[in-house]
A and B are shown apart, each in its own frame.
Chain A
Amino acid sequence: MARPRALLMRFVYFTLAIASMVLNVPSAIHGSELLPEDQSIAEVVDHYISARLKQERIDAAPPANDANVLRRTTLDLVGRIPTSSETASYVNDKDEYKRRNLIDRLIGSPAFVRHQVNEFDALLMPDEKNRLREYLLAAFTENRPWDQMFREMMLGQADDPEQKGALQFVKARVGDTDRLTNDVSVTFFGVNVSCAQCHDHPDVYEWSQDRFYGMKSFFNRTFDNGGLLGEHEYGLVSYQTTEGEARKAQLMFLTGAILEEPEVAEPDDKTKKEEKEKLEELKKQKQAPPAPSFSRREQLVEIALKSGENDYFAKAIVNKLWNRFFGYGLVMPLDQMHPENPASHPELLEWLSRDLVAHNYDLSRLVRGIVSSEAYCRSSVWKGSSRPHPDTFAVGSVRPLTPYQYATLLRVATANPDSQSADQKPEDVEARLASLENAARGIAGEIEYPGPEFQVGVAEALFFSNSERVRNDLLRDSNDMLIGKLKKTDDVNELISVATMSIWNRLPDPEEEAALVAYLQSRSDRRDEAIGQMVWAMLTSSECRFNY
C-alpha cells in the first residue's frame, strides 16, 4: 500500500482473540474436507446442490429449454433480453459448446460491464442516485479485484483520479457514523449488527453491543471537511450497556478480533482550536486533511482482508452474487450471515469463498462459474405436488427484473427486429443495442428497485396503463419500431410469430396463438390499434416483467 505510515505503526500489532475467532467463522467446515481446489466452479456447484437434493429425495425440475436459458443468461449477464435473431440462431446452433460460447460472448461484451455497474451501484448505493457509477465503470472495465475495490472505497486517495470516485461510499454516509457502520457491515460483510446498537442480540450470543461499537470505532474518527474526507488522530467510542454501565469501545472486528492501537489522549481545547483552524484553511484550499499517523479505517481494511479473518468479506459477496443469479441466497436473509444462521449448503459457500480468495477476488470468474452450472439452468415450471423450498435450488427462480433490465427489455422488444437482425454487422447491432439501453433510462426511472419480498405497486401498473410516455416510447408505429413492422405484415400468424419472438423470445403455443389471432381478427376494423394493444398486453404480461 502506498499510504505513508508513521514510525509508530511499527509498534502496532494485531492481537487476535483466537478462541472467539474460531467460534465465529460462519461455518465450521474445514477446508480439507471440501472438494479439491482445481475443480471447476460449475462442477462444484452442481455437486453440492445435487448432493442435497439426493439426500432429501427431491427430484429437481428438468433443464429449461434453450430459448429460456438464453433469455435468462442474457438478462443476467448483460441486462437485456436477446433479440429475435439471437434467439433463432441460438436455438438452431448445433455446437455442443454453444452455451459456453454464449457465456464467453456475453461476459466479453461491454454490456456486461455496464450491467455489472448497474447491479453494484444498486448494491452499494441503494439510496443514492448513481453516485458510484463512474468509479464502478472504470473498475469493472478492467475487472478490478473485489478486495481492491473495497480498499479503494474505504481508503481511496482523494488526489488519485482513479480512486477519488470510490470514496463516495464513505462520503455519502460520513454524516451519520451509525449508518456508515451498519452499511459497511451489511454491504461488505453480510452482517447486520444494528440491533446490537441498543442491546446484546437476543439470539446470537456473539453479537453483543461490544461488537457494534467495536465496528463503529473503525469509523468514529472519520469526518468530512468541505467534501474531502479526513480522519482525526483521537476520539473514542463510549456507550452505555443495557445494565447502565458506561464503557469505552475497543477496536473490534466482527469476528471478535481486537486490534491494539497506540493510546492517545484527547487533545486540550487549544490544540483542538488549532486543528480546527488548520482544517478551515485546508477547506478553503480544497485540500484533503493530512492522513493520521494511525488510521482506524485502514485497520478495518487490513483485518477484513487478513487471511483467517476474511471469511465474512468473501462469503458476503459470494452470497450476494449467488442470490442475484438464483433469486435466493445460500444464507438468507443476506445480512444475517451469523453463526446461528447456517447456509443451506455450507460446503458450497465455503468452497466458493475459498476459491474467490485464491483467485484474487475475481468476480467475473465467479459469475462465469455460477451461470455455467446446470443448477442455474433449471426450468422455473413446477408441476409436481409440493414445490421444493427455494433453498434447495431444485426449481428455476422467478425474479422481478430491475428497473434497468425491464426498461431495456421493453426497448429491445419494441424495436424493429430488422434493425438488429443477423444480416447486420455485429458491431452495428451492438451499437444499436447500446443506444436502446441508453434510451431505457427514462422509463427505468419510473420503476421501483426490487428489494426482498418485493411487491409490484399499483403506480407501476397505472403508469404502464395510462401514461403518454409508454405510448410514445414503446407503442409508436413508426418504421424503427416493432409495431411499424407488424403493421406491414399481412399474414396474421406470421405477425404473431414476429411479435412473440421479439417480446417473449419464443413462438406462441397454440392456445396463445388462438387468443391473439382472435383478438386481432375481431378488431379488423381498427387493425393498427389492435396490434398496439396486443403488443401492450404482451409487454406488460408477467412473462416480460420477470426473469424466469
Chain B
Amino acid sequence: MSKRRNWFCGSEEHRISRRGFLGTAAATAGSMSALNLLREPCLAAELKKQDKRVILLWLAGGASQLETWDPKPGRSTGGPFAAIPTSVPGIHISELMPKMARRMEDTAIIRSLNTKDGSHGGGARMMHLGRRDEAAVKYPDLGAVLARELGSADSRVPDNVSFYTATEGRGSAVGQAGFLGARYLPMSLTTNSKPDNLARLDSISDLDHQQRHELRELLSNRFIEYRDSSSLRSHNEAYSRVRGLMSSDKLFDVSEEPQSIRDLYGPSLFAEQCLIARRLVEAGTPFVKVSRAWWDSHGQNFETHLELVSELDHVMSTLLDDLKQRGLLENTMVITLSEFGRTPKINASLGRDHFASAWSCSLSGCGINGGTVYGATDEDGQTVKDGEVDAGDLFATIYQALGIDPHTEYHVGSRPIPLVHEKASVVTDVLA
C-alpha cells in the first residue's frame, strides 16, 4: 500500500488563515469541530473549487448504452436504430439523440465502464458511492461529498437536492451521507417537486415563526455554553439554516420562470425538475440529482428507449444550452449515469437485460474536455476493448474535474478513508 498522503498542511497558521479568508462564514465553519476533525482542505484547493456545481441526471433502471452513447449499427446486437454523426467529427451516437449530436463539443463520453455489479441495488449503490459498500464504514455518496466539499456551512440554499419522484428503483438510489453525517443528506423530493416542510404552516405568522426560532436559539445557547460534543453544535446549525432555506422556497417554483424558458424545457416532470435544478445551481446549490425512471427494459427495449432517450435528448440539450447561455456551464458539470447498462444481446421479448461489464456514461461542462470519447467496446459491445474504467475511476475523474484532489483522505476518528478507492485513477483524457 502506498504511503498515506498528508492532506493537512499541519500548521496552526493554516487553520487561522483559512478562517480569516472565509470571513463571516468563518465563525460557523470554525465551530464545526466534528468536521474539522474530518478534514481540513488546503487554502489553494479551497479557492480553486469555489462555485463548482454538479447536476446528475440519474437514469434509473439502467439506460442502454447501445441506444444512447455507444451504438452498434448493423451488428446483430445493434437493434433497429442507426448511428448518426455529431458536431464533433468522428463521434457517432444513437439517432435517438439528434439534439445532443449537434452539441457534442461540451460533452465527453466514456464508453468503457466495467462496474461488475449487474443488480439494481448493488449497482445503484456502487454508482452513488463510487465503490463497493463496506459493512463497517458507511461511505458518503457523491452528493454528500460534493455538499461537503463545494458547499458552505451556513449556506442559505440547500446544498444537496435529490429529485426522485418515481417509485421504481428509488429504494436503491437513496442519499447516503455516511460518516459525513446527516448534515449532508440530500433534501429529498420524492412526491412532488417542492420539498417537504420548506413552507411555513398557516397556523403561525411569519413574525412569530421567526421569533420562536430566536427564543429557541437563546435557550439552546445557554445549554451549549459549557458543554461539548461532536454533534451538539450541528443541532443549532441545522436550525439556524431553516429560515434561510425557507426563503429558497421559490427556487423550487417553476412558475417563477418566464413561460418562454418553460416552453423550451417542455412540460414533462423530468424537464421541470431539470429546470429547477438549473435554478438551484444558479442560486449556489452544489449538487442536484434529477432521477428519471424507469429504464429497466427487459421487454420492449426499443419502444422504451425511443420514448425515454428522446426525452433525455431534448431535456439534456436544453439544460446544457440554458446553462451555457447563463455562463453557468463553465462551473457546472452535468453527468448522465445509471446503475449499469444493458446487454448487447437482445432477448426473446425484444428487451435487453442488466449489463455492467461494458457500458457508457457522459460528462459535460465544468472541467470536462468536450467533444471526446474515452474507451471503446468491441464491435458487438460485449466487452471493453480499450480503456476500462470502474466506478472509482469515474468518481476520481469527476472530483478532479471539480478541483478536488481525489486522493485526499477523510479521517473518521483515527482511520483514514480515501475519497475514492485506492486503485482508482483519473481518466485525464476527458479533463479540460
Contacts and interface: CB of A to CB of B under 8 A. Distances in A.
B280 to A, nearest CB: 15
Interface in A530-544: 530, 533-534, 536-538, 540-543
A454 B227 contact: no
| Centre residue among A202, A451, A462, A548 by max chain B CB count within 10 A | A462
Interface in A357-394: 380-383, 387
Interface string A443-476: 0000010111111111111110111100100000
A436 B234 CA distance: 28
B34 A455 contact: yes
A454 B182 contact: yes
Interface size class of A (residues with CB under 8 A): 35 or more
Interface string B238-265: 1101100110000000000000000000
A381 B226 contact: yes
Nearest to A180: B135
A177 to B, nearest CB: 11
A198 B418 CA distance: 15
Contacts of B216: 536-537, 540-541
A45 B201 CA distance: 50
B31 to A, nearest CB: 12
Contacts of B246: 465-466
B348 interface: no
B135 A194 contact: yes
Contacts of B197: 459, 462-463, 465-467
Contacts of A545: 235
B215 interface: yes
Contacts of A198: 422
B231 A453 contact: yes
Given A183-B135, A460-B182, A542-B224, A465 B242 contact: yes
A398 B185 contact: no
Given A459-B187, A462-B196, A462-B242, A182 B134 contact: yes
Interface stretch (B64-72, B362-370, B408-416): B408-416
Contacts of A26: none
B179 A462 contact: no
Interface in B34-59: 34-35, 37-38
A455 B182 CA distance: 5
Nearest to B215: A537
A455 B234 contact: yes
Contacts of A399: 229
Interface of A: 178-179, 182-183, 186, 192, 194, 198-199, 202, 327, 332-333, 335-336, 341, 380-383, 387, 397-400, 448, 450-463, 465-468, 471, 511-512, 515-516, 519, 523, 529-530, 533-534, 536-538, 540-543, 545-546, 548
Given A398-B227, A453-B34, 19 more contacts: A194-B137, A333-B415, A387-B228, A397-B229, A398-B232, A451-B181, A453-B181, A453-B231, A455-B181, A455-B184, A456-B183, A457-B182, A458-B238, A458-B241, A459-B185, A523-B208, A537-B219, A541-B216, A541-B223
Task: Please list the 4 inter-chain residue pairs (A to B) with the smallest Cβ-Cβ separation, ordered nearest first.
Answer: A455-B181, A457-B182, A182-B135, A455-B183
